[in-house]
Structure formats: structure tokens, C-alpha cells
């Protein structure tokens, strides 16, 4: 009887054994050299380890600030800020639509005062900060810059990233405000402003993470992400920006799932493909062709059943990200299928990275899986599958058109359905969920967010609004409206507005009146 065939999660057939014949045409590439399949640095982690981030932000700015100080004391080398839903979609905490959501999925930020509290006791020049924010990314960037100026920091020295990837919101996540075209205009405004004012800041983190969380395969994750990246580059070129300047400040954000070798192949293929895309679009500086990326372990892979099993899953995903050459990494807490991570879960997640970094040996040499017949063949197959998808998107007129036509959303939905079907019929084994279950589950202590958070935020907002020059705020919001109606860059007036105590919701609403809302 012949043995059943095996496939990766992207549907690529896996042979029982691989040999030399499976790596025909393999180029003898070096890390740190075009097309960067083997990594963006010649010596990778021997020179500098990846940045160890922990994604944190919940409840009030005070509570999140305590967690940041704790994480910094435990050896975190970069902060990663999660924002609540009202902040993400441009509503102040006292807005009727914010009810029930303030401080739940992240920290509530309405004003410069909240930002001051969030980073109290932390010098912005000394940390690298990643902010997971998209539709209101331009406002959070302005708030961060305003706080840095208050601290006396040199904006040109600030390090960090705003996610600022609106296309994947339309395709996979849903926290958009404005239609695609004005949203793309805001993103190019940010590129242009940062290239002058904050040259070390990563102006976008083109995100495959949420595409994967929505149910895509690994091959779809890189195809859709790189297509979105291409659209952002083309928009910047249309604005007349220099690809060799803004190209160096693009970064990516990927997911790491449990299929170790498929994930490593995905990261290697993505680097090679992006280098070739950028070269094709006119980049000549090698640094503008490098795909630098942050990784987060897969939230959708975590199970509420036997949650301690998630520690093993996160370890495999950490190895995949590091063997794949990530530049920074966030590891999920084992309890995140149930709630925001407790302090203990966040510490174990960070220790997982530290054990991989200092005890496993995987950081001792660049691209340690290079030359493996299986890894090299899988990298090639991944590139082939993702390229085919990208060609389909190009034929439709690029990412924006493919999203408007629903193509990307439908492809993700089909993959998500197929994966769920396999779990339900037992074809895909999830330990502790559809196999090896327990009769009774032990209960874990969970992090609960107090419903009084909204009231506290609303009271702070009222005091904040009473302490400002209202006429000046109205004047600046009118100026923002004028700039948005013209083709002028809105970033300078947004910065001035937050410095003069305009709130996030007021700025977002001013642009809603000009650009409309995407339904």
C-alpha cells in the first residue's frame, strides 16, 4: 500500500526524502549580498542580535507605562505599543462609539497628555518604539514627535516604526477610516515628512501578520504583503520621492506559524523576491533593496485548551523567525487565546527569546539551514507559488485594484475555510484541541480590564480640553482641512495641532469631513 502524500500548510507536496537533484540551479549566494535570500547582514546575529520586543499596551497610559518599565528591567530592547480600538479608528474615549472598547485591546491614547504618561520616565532617544497603528498612524507619529521635542530629543535620532499599512486593513483586518486613495496620500505624506524630519524612522511596516491571522497560507502571506509593498513604492515614486531614500526606511511585519521549515522558506523567499522587485522599480542602493522585517509569533495558532502547550508552539515559531533571519521579534504569551497576557506570561515569552538567543546556538552563524536540500527546495517552491499570485494581482492593476475587486479577501477566506475544515475533520491535528484532549481544564489567572477605564479617560479628556486655547485649536483644525483639500503635506499642521492640544478624535474627524469614510 502506498503511503499517503504529505503537504505543507500552503499545499506544497513534501517528498519523503530530498537530495541534490532537488536543488538544481541553486545559486551560490552569500548573506548580506543581493538578493539577500540568506540574510541582510553578512554575519547576521554574530554582529547584533535581533531586537527583542514585547507587544504591550492595555487599559490606561499609567498601567501600560508600568508594564514598559517592567519589560525594560527584564531585558527587552525595544517597546511595541498596542492601541485600543477607538484609538485605532480615530475616536476619542468619550465618543459614543468608544463605549465598551476603551483600553480593551490596547492602550487608550486621546491626546499629548496620554502620550506623556505612556512614556513617563522613558527617554525616547534611548529606545526603539514600534507602534501598531494604521488609519491614525500619522496622528500617533505626530504625538510621538511632539513628546520627543518636549523631552529635548533630536527627531533625527529617533528610532522606531509605525505600522501605517492601510491596504492590509481593507484586505484582512478592518480598522480603516478613509477610502483607499486618500489613505495612500496620507502614507506618502508621512514618507515625505519623515525623510526630512525623522530620517531614521521606519515609515511603514508592511504587514503580512494580519493577512495570515485572517487565514491566508504562508505563500499568500508573502504574495499579498509584497504586492501591497509594491503599491506603496509606486505611490511614493508617483509623488517624486527617491526610491533609494525612502526604500531604506520600509520595513515588513510577518507572522511565524508552527510548520518550521515552511516558515523559514517563506522568510528566505520573501527577501529574495523583494530585492528583485525593488531593483525592477529602479533601486540601485543595496540598502533600499533589503527586506528588513519584524516577526510576531502566530496569535491564531494559540489554543484556549491546555494553554501551557502554547509555550512549545511559541518556541517553534521563535526558532522559525530566527532561522529565517528576522530583525526583531515579539513572542506571544501562552494565555493570549484567553486574554491580554499576564505579567508571568509576558516574562515566559521574553525568556523564550532569550533562551533561543543565548542557549540554542542558532544565532552563532548566518542562515544555518542554507544548503539543506529540503529548505532550499521549499524556498524555491515558495517563491514560485507567491510569484504566480503576484502576477495575477499585477494583471488586475495592482493591490489597490485587487482589494477593490475583492480578490485578495476572497483568496484569504477560501484558505481560512479549507484550514478550518481540515481541523474539524481531524486531517490537521491540533494537540489538546482535536486530539489528546483533557476531561477537565485547569483555570488560569487572567488579566481583566476594568470597565471604569472609559470614565477615567473621559474625565482626563474634559480637564485637558478645558486647559487649552480653543480658538487656536479651531484655527489649526481649519488649516488641516485646507491642507487636506489641497495637495499639500498634512504632517506639519498635524504636529502643530497635537502640540496645541487638539485631540486624536478631532483630527480624525476633520479629515472624515474631507475624505469621507470607507464602507
Q: For residue 78, what are the β-bridge partners?
A: 53, 128
What value does the mean pLDDT take over residues 243-250? 95
Q: Examine the pLDDT at 441 and tell me if it is beyond 80.
A: no
DSSP 126: G
What stretch of H or E contains 130?
strand 128-132
Contacts with 170 (C-beta within 8 Å, 6 or more apart), sequence order: 176, 180, 403, 518
Share above pLDDT 90 across residues of the chain, in percent, rounded to a whole number: 90
pLDDT category, 118, cuts 50, 70, 90?
very high
37 and 31 in contact (C-beta within 8 Å)?
A: no
User: Could you tell me what percent of the chain has a pLDDT over 70?
Assistant: 100
Residue 78 confidence class, pLDDT cut points 50, 70, 90: confident
Q: What number is the average pLDDT over the span 273-285?
A: 98
Side-chain half-sphere exposure of 491, counting CA atoms within 13 A: 24
Cβ neighbourhood burial of 462 (10 Å; 0-12, 13-18, 19+):
exposed
For residues 235-251, give the mean pLDDT: 95
Mean pLDDT of 443-465: 88
List phi, psi (to 5°) of 428. Answer: -105, 120
Contact 51, 44 (CB under 8 A): no
Q: Which residue in 405, 385, 383 sits closest to 395, CA to CA?
A: 405
Stretch 317-341: mean pLDDT: 95
Cell 477537565 belongs to which residue?
440
Q: What is the mean pLDDT of residues 317-331?
A: 97
The yes-or-no verdict on residue 341 having pLDDT over 90 is no
pLDDT in tens, 161-189: 999 999 999 999 899 999 999 999 999 99
Closest CA to 448 of 342, 373, 335: 342
Q: What is the pLDDT of residue 313?
A: 98
Q: Identify the residue whose cell numbers are 516604526.
A: 161
| 467-505: pLDDT as tens digits | 999 999 999 999 999 999 998 999 999 999 999 999 999
* Whole-number pLDDT of residue 442: 78
Residue 199 has pLDDT above 80, yes or no: yes
In the structure grid, which three cell numbers stand for residue 341, read together?
A: 497576557
Is 90 exceeded by the pLDDT of residue 275? yes
Spatial separation of the C-alpha atoms in residues 9 and 221, rounded to whole Å: 12
- Inter-residue contact 328 to 295 (CB < 8 Å): yes
Residue 479 gets the label, from left (phi > 0), alpha (psi -120 to 50) or beta, of: alpha
For residue 107, what are the CA distances in angstroms to 60, 187, 474?
A: 6, 23, 27
As a whole number, mean pLDDT of residues 385-406 equals: 96
Task: For residue 255, give every residue at least 6 positions away whose Cβ sits within 8 Å of its Cβ, in sequence order, or none.
Answer: 208, 209, 212, 213, 221, 295, 296, 297, 298
Task: Dump pLDDT digits (tens) for 295-319.
Answer: 999 999 999 999 999 999 999 999 9
- Confidence check: pLDDT of 415 > 90: yes
304: exposed, middle or buried (C-beta count within 10 Å: 0-12, 13-18, 19+)? middle
Which residues neighbour 156 within 8 Å (Cβ) at sequence distance 6 or greater?
Answer: 197, 198, 199, 200
Q: Is the pLDDT of residue 356 over 70?
A: yes
Which pLDDT belongs to residue 57?
Answer: 72
From residue 285, how far is each of 7, 33, 41, 131, 253 by CA, in Å? 38, 12, 15, 27, 22
Please, which pLDDT band fits residue 243 given cuts at 50, 70 and 90?
Answer: very high
Q: What is the pLDDT of residue 1?
A: 60
pLDDT band at 107 (very low <50, low <70, confident <90, very high): very high
- Average pLDDT in the 64-71 region? 92
What per-residue confidence (pLDDT) applies to 452?
86
* Per-residue pLDDT reduced to its tens digit, 24-62: 888 889 999 999 999 999 999 999 999 998 777 778 899
Q: Name the average pLDDT for the chain.
A: 95
Mean pLDDT, residues 365-380: 97
Can you give the three-state secondary structure of 213-260, one letter per residue?
HCCCCHHHHHHHHHHHHHHHHHHHHHCCCCHHHHHHHEEEEEEECCCH
Amino acid at each position: 500500500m502506498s503511503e499517503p502524500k504529505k503537504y505543507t500548510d500552503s499545499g506544497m507536496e513534501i517528498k519523503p526524502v530530498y537530495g541534490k537533484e532537488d536543488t538544481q540551479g541553486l545559486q551560490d549566494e552569500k548573506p548580506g549580498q543581493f538578493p539577500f535570500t540568506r540574510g541582510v547582514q553578512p554575519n547576521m546575529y554574530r554582529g547584533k542580535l535581533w531586537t527583542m520586543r514585547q507587544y504591550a499596551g492595555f487599559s490606561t497610559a499609567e498601567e501600560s507605562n508600568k508594564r514598559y518599565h517592567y519589560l525594560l528591567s527584564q531585558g527587552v530592547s525595544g517597546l511595541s505599543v498596542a492601541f485600543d480600538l477607538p484609538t485605532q479608528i480615530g475616536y476619542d474615549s468619550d465618543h459614543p462609539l468608544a463605549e465598551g472598547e476603551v483600553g480593551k485591546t490596547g492602550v487608550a491614547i486621546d491626546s499629548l497628555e496620554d502620550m506623556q504618561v505612556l512614556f513617563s520616565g522613558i527617554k525616547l532617544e534611548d529606545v526603539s518604539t514600534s507602534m501598531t497603528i494604521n488609519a491614525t498612524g500619522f496622528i500617533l507619529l505626530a504625538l510621538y514627535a511632539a513628546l520627543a521635542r518636549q523631552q529635548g530629543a533630536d527627531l533625527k535620532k529617533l528610532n522606531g516604526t509605525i505600522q501605517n499599512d492601510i491596504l492590509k486593513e481593507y484586505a484582512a483586518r478592518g480598522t480603516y477610516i478613509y477610502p483607499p486613495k486618500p489613505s495612500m496620500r496620507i502614507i506618502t505624506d508621512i514618507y515625505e515628512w519623515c525623510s526630512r524630519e525623522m530620517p531614521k524612522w521606519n515609515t511603514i511596516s508592511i504587514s503580512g501578520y494580519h493577512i495570515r491571522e485572517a487565514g491566508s497560507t504562508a505563500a499568500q502571506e508573502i504574495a499579498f504583503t509584497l504586492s501591497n509593498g509594491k503599491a506603496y513604492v509606486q505611490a511614493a515614486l508617483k509623488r517624486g520621492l527617491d526610491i533609494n531614500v525612502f526604500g531604506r526606511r520600509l520595513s515588513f511585519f510577518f507572522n511565524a506559524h508552527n510548520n518550521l521549515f515552511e516558515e523559514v522558506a517563506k522568510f528566505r523567499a520573501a527577501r529574495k523576491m523583494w530585492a528583485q522587485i525593488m531593483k525592477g522599480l529602479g533601486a540601485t542602493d543595496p540598502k533600499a533593496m533589503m527586506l528588513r522585517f519584524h516577526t510576531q509569533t502566530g496569535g491564531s495558532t494559540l489554543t484556549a485548551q491546555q494553554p501551557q502547550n502554547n509555550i512549545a508552539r511559541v518556541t517553534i515559531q521563535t526558532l522559525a523567525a530566527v532561522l529565517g533571519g528576522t530583525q526583531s521579534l515579539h513572542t506571544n504569551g501562552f494565555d493570549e487565546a484567553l486574554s491580554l497576557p499576564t505579567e508571568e506570561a509576558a516574562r515566559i515569552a521574553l525568556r523564550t527569546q532569550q533562551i533561543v538567543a543565548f542557549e540554542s546556538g542558532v544565532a552563532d552563524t548566518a542562515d544555518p539551514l542554507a544548503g539543506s536540500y529540503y529548505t532550499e527546495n521549499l524556498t524555491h517552491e515558495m517563491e514560485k507559488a507567491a510569484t504566480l499570485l503576484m502576477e495575477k494581482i499585477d494583471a488586475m492593476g495592482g493591490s489597490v485594484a485587487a482589494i477593490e475587486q475583492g480578490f485578495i479577501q476572497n483568496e484569504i477566506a477560501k484558505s481560512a475555510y479549507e484550514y478550518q475544515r481540515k481541523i474539524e475533520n481531524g486531517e490537521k491535528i491540533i494537540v489538546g484541541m482535536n486530539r489528546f484532549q483533557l476531561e477537565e481544564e485547569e483555570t488560569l489567572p487572567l488579566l481583566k480590564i476594568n470597565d471604569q477605564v472609559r470614565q477615567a479617560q473621559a474625565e482626563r479628556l474634559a480637564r485637558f480640553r478645558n486647559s487649552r486655547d480653543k480658538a487656536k485649536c479651531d484655527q489649526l483644525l481649519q488649516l488641516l482641512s485646507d491642507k487636506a483639500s489641497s495637495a499639500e503635506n498634512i504632517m506639519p499642521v498635524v504636529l502643530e495641532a497635537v502640540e496645541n492640544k487638539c485631540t486624536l478624535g478631532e483630527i480624525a474627524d476633520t479629515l472624515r469631513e474631507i475624505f469621507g469614510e470607507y464602507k
